[in-house]
């Protein structure tokens, strides 16, 4: 039995419908900027948090209870299924994620599995069940996965990279190896997202965060076909899909051809320009610069007004940031942002 969703603004906007107001959620809405998140994090490491369903469910609920956003997103990380493929994963406070044994050769690739998602990441399914119990249909739950190219950047680079020179070198020196790696990641992602869909998520987002670093022809060769394969394989579930790319403005038409219901964009192109290039059959999500939450409330209000004006009376629009919320964001500013959208700009400004 699935619980009916009381606030279904987000799902209606994903389907391209006209809504009373835009739904709003925030990428990385459960995170280090929240003291309550830091409290939960004190109990364990970041990976421990992802792997403990009860803690992951509590973290997921924080922005629902504290900010009142219109959708929940599973608390996890895009690198969780990569660890399940057999690649040791570490998270450090200062350096973020790293893989001490990155994939550089065909032998490295040969050691990777296409894991059974329930056996290796059953804690994610357990977290989804716990979140849905807590949500009790208040708002929809978004599941997610990294896209094959973005996951490959971490697996080949082994750490956060600025220029992606190792994965790009593989593209130019051994494209067959990169394609075989992307193929194996794609099989893993399809199984992993199928598990999430069968457990009860109401929409899913594919994060191809770093695909914006590719030339359009390389995007068409090394990123797009794999995302398309995932979207095609999951269409049978009849659940809305979202594709996010940071640096999307050079790739909008290509992103559309991946076939997701929603195109999620960063702030580098205004939404009215995005709307001209994305057909009406697809919804749009974005695109406030996350740094605007670090400034003055009255300036934030003007930034939000600009975006809302551009999307006024247009169906199929979801308010979000253009990338994840920053750890230094003051919580009152995040709350103010959500209230601005929900009140049609009349929310009271935070003090101080």
Q: With respect to ligand CP3, which residue has the nearer C-beta, 32 or 275?
A: 32
φ, ψ for residue 167, nearest 5 deg: -70, -35
> Of the listed pieces 28-36, 82-90, 179-187, 264-272, which binds ligand CP3 according to CB under 6 A?
28-36
- 32 labelled catalytic: yes
Among 36, 77, 180, 310, binds ligand CP3 (CB under 6 A): 77
Which among 28, 58, 104, 184 is annotated as catalytic?
A: 28
Q: With respect to ligand CP3, which residue has the nearer C-beta, 30 or 135?
A: 30
- 33 labelled catalytic: no
- 192 labelled catalytic: no
Distance of CA 111 to the CA centre of its chain: 28
Q: With respect to ligand CP3, which residue has the nearer C-beta, 216 or 327?
A: 327
> Of the listed pieces 11-19, 72-80, 271-279, 311-319, which binds ligand CP3 according to CB under 6 A?
72-80
d(CA 8, CA 140): 7
> Of the listed pieces 75-83, 233-241, 262-270, 332-340, which binds ligand CP3 according to CB under 6 A?
75-83
CA-to-CA separations, 116 to 18, 185, 192, in angstroms, rounded: 39, 13, 8
Among 21, 41, 134, 218, binds ligand CP3 (CB under 6 A): 41
Contact present, 279 and 261 (Cβ < 8 Å): no
Q: With respect to ligand CP3, which residue has the nearer C-beta, 3 or 45?
A: 45
Which among 32, 138, 268, 314 is annotated as catalytic?
A: 32
- 244 labelled catalytic: no
Tell me the two tokens of residue 156: 């080949």
Per-residue binding string, ligand CP3, 45-64, x by CB under 6 A, is -x------------------
How many residues of this chain interact with ligand CP3, rule: CB under 6 A? 21
d(CA 149, CA 152): 5
Contact present, 306 and 289 (Cβ < 8 Å): no
Per-residue binding string, ligand CP3, 172-211, x by CB under 6 A, is -----------------------------------x-x--
> Of the listed pieces 9-17, 69-77, 230-238, 258-266, which binds ligand CP3 according to CB under 6 A?
69-77
- What's the closest the beta carbon of residue 265 comes to ligand CP3, in angstroms? 13
User: Nearest to residue 271, comparing CAs of 231, 303, 298, 300?
Assistant: 303
- What's the closest the beta carbon of residue 338 comes to ligand CP3, in angstroms? 14
CA-angle at 38, arms to 102 and 335, nearest 5°: 110
d(CA 157, CA 166): 6
φ, ψ for residue 321, nearest 5 deg: -80, 170
- 15 labelled catalytic: no
Per-residue binding string, ligand CP3, 103-122, x by CB under 6 A, is --------------------
Is residue 75 involved in binding ligand CP3 (CB under 6 A)?
yes
Q: With respect to ligand CP3, which residue has the nearer C-beta, 209 or 342?
A: 209
Contact present, 344 and 50 (Cβ < 8 Å): no
Query: 3-state SS of 18-65?
Result: CCCCCCECCCCCCCCCCHHHHHHHHCCCHHHHHHCHHHHHHHHHHHHH
CA-to-CA separations, 143 to 2, 7, 130, 292, in angstroms, rounded: 16, 17, 13, 26
> What contacts 2, CB < 8 A, 6 or more positions away?
200
Element (H or E) spanning 285, and its range?
Answer: strand 283-288
Q: Which residues are catalytic?
A: 28, 32, 41, 77, 154
Footprint on this chain of ligand CP3 (rule: CB under 6 A)? 27-32, 41, 46, 73, 75-79, 96-97, 144, 160, 207, 209, 324
């Amino acid at each position: 039995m699935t619980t009916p969703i009381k606030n279904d603004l987000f799902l209606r906007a994903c389907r391209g419908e006209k809504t009373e107001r835009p739904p709003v959620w925030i990428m990385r809405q459960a995170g280090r900027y929240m003291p309550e998140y830091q409290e939960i994090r004190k109990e364990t490491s970041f990976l421990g948090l992802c792997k403990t369903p009860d803690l992951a469910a509590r973290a997921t609920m924080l922005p629902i209870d504290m900010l009142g956003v219109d959708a929940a997103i599973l608390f996890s990380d895009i690198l969780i299924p990569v660890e399940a493929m057999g690649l040791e994963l570490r998270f450090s406070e200062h350096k973020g994620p790293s893989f001490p044994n990155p994939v550089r050769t065909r032998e490295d690739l040969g050691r990777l599995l296409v894991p059974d998602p329930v056996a290796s990441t059953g804690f994610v399914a357990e977290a989804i069940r716990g979140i849905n119990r807590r949500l009790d249909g208040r708002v929809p739950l978004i599941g997610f996965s990294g896209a094959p190219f973005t996951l490959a950047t971490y697996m080949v680079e082994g750490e956060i990279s600025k220029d992606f020179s190792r994965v790009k070198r593989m593209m130019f020196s051994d494209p067959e190896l990169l394609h075989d790696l992307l193929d194996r990641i794609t099989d893993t992602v399809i199984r992993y997202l199928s598990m999430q869909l069968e457990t009860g998520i109401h929409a899913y987002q594919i994060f191809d965060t770093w695909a914006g670093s590719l030339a359009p022809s390389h995007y068409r060769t090394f990123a797009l076909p794999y995302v398309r394969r995932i979207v095609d394989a999951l269409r049978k579930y009849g659940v809305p899909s979202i594709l996010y790319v940071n640096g999307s403005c050079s790739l909008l038409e290509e992103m559309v051809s991946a076939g997701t219901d929603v195109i999620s964009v960063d702030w580098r192109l205004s939404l009215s320009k995005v709307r001209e290039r994305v057909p009406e059959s697809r919804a749009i999500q974005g695109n406030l610069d996350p740094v605007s939450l670090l400034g003055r409330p009255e300036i934030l209000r003007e930034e939000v007004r600009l975006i809302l004006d551009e999307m006024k009376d247009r169906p199929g629009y979801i308010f979000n940031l253009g990338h994840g919320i920053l750890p230094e964001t003051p919580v009152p500013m995040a709350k103010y942002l959500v209230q601005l959208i929900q009140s049609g700009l009349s929310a009271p400004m935070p003090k101080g």
